[in-house]
A and B are shown apart, each in its own frame.
Chain A
Amino acid sequence: NAGVTQTPKFRILKIGQSMTLQCTQDMNHNYMYWYRQDPGMGLKLIYYSVGAGITDKGEVPNGYNVSRSTTEDFPLRLELAAPSQTSVYFCASSQGQGGIGTQYFGPGTRLTVL
């Protein structure tokens, strides 16, 4: 049981480039989340999903897109990278009605946009 895995661990992008951050969980959780953590700050929610085929915006969705075609996978897409998207990105999952179970986090992806 690997929990929540994220790839890549590190990435440097040039302004305007695109990339997909991968997230996979093997706990059969219905809820999944993407957060970003800026230096010296707590995490802020980008997007979340309550199940396969269902996604919704969080606090800071601009510049990102998500999809949820399977229970296990919840990729985050950056279409036109900007320096403001330099951050550490965390994927998380949870179970239980309303997703109220404990959220389990992946190890994070450190993204730098130059």
Chain B
Amino acid sequence: AQTVTQSQPEMSVQEAETVTLSCTYDTSESDYYLFWYKQPPSRQMILVIRQEAYKQQNATENRFSVNFQKAAKSFSLKISDSQLGDAAMYFCAYRSLAGANSKLTFGKGITLSVRP
């Protein structure tokens, strides 16, 4: 079974600065997807960024980018030019491509606060 570990429960960043959120995962599969989701106080889960394991190039979405290290099974999220609206809980998630069930396996999440 796959597991996703987010070992930092909380982080804080100064507005306009850069912050990196860590995530590691364990799997025996070679092909899979990895995601970062944002959950603001409204509780809705919002997709931030997605990475396909077969792609060597790190995914980027505006101020959000990832550092995907497949051999190390590491998938960190970098937020550049942090904004107050980035304050939220962030979840790392894994999805296998095997089988009919494409369920997401989530980490416990990290609470990010942004200081003005």
Contacts and interface: CB of A to CB of B under 8 A. Distances in A.
A42 B4 contact: yes
Contact of B101 (A41, A48, A103, A107): A48
Interface in B74-116: 91, 93, 95, 97, 99-109
B103 A48 contact: yes
A56 interface: yes
Contact of B104 (A41, A45, A107): A45
Q: How large is the interface on B (under 10, 10 to 19, 20 to 34, 35 or more residues)?
A: 20 to 34
Interface residues of A, number: 29
A95 to B, nearest CB: 11
Contacts of B105: 42
Nearest to B45: A105
A52 B97 CA distance: 21
Interface string B1-26: 00010000000000000000000000
B44 interface: yes
Report whether over half of chain A's contact residues are helix, strand or loop; otherwise say mixed. strand
Contacts of B106: 42-44
Nearest to B98: A98
A58 B99 CA distance: 13
Nearest to B103: A45
Q: Which of B37, B45, B97 has most chain A Cβ within 10 Å?
A: B45
B44 A100 contact: no
A33 interface: yes
A90 interface: yes
Interface string B46-84: 110010000000000000000000000000000000000
Contacts of A59: 103
A84 interface: no
Nearest to A4: B44
17 contacts: A33-B103, A40-B108, A40-B109, A42-B107, A42-B108, A43-B104, A45-B103, A48-B101, A56-B101, A58-B101, A59-B103, A98-B97, A100-B33, A100-B95, A104-B47, A105-B46, A107-B42
